[in-house]
Amino acid sequence: MRTINIGFGNMIPENRIIAILSPESAPVKRMIQAYRDDNKLIDGTQGRKTKSVIFLEAGYIALSYLTPETLAGKLDKEGS
């Protein structure tokens, strides 16, 4: 199982990632709050600003302080 570092040593399995989005839009912000209320949120920001929202297969989302572009680059690099 290959993992991707989402920041501060927090790792998630790359084969479980469905999408990586920016948290700036209102619908994504509402989704973050809904997942938080349902205890299905993994916060990997360590108190820093959320720059990406990672949707996972199991119905969870993970927050990261890394940008979607940075995470996509890591996936491309590790997938090669």
Which structural domain range is residue 52 located in? Answer: 3-79
Express each pLDDT in 9-21 by its tens digit. Answer: 999 999 999 999 9
Which H or E element spans position 77?
helix 68-79
pLDDT bucket at 77, cuts 50 / 70 / 90: confident
Phi/psi of residue 27, each to 5°?
Answer: -60, -40
Express each pLDDT in 55-75 by its tens digit. Answer: 999 999 999 999 999 999 999
Helix (H/G/I), strand (E/B), else coil: 37: helix
Domain tally for the chain? 1
Helix (H/G/I), strand (E/B), else coil: 80: coil
**Section 46-56 average pLDDT:** 97
pLDDT at 78: 66
Minimal CA–CA distance to 48: which of 77, 76, 23? Answer: 23
> What is the pTM assigned to this prediction?
0.92
Asked if 80 contacts 20 with a C-beta cutoff of 8 angstroms, the reply is no
Helix (H/G/I), strand (E/B), else coil: 39: coil
pLDDT bucket at 26, cuts 50 / 70 / 90: very high
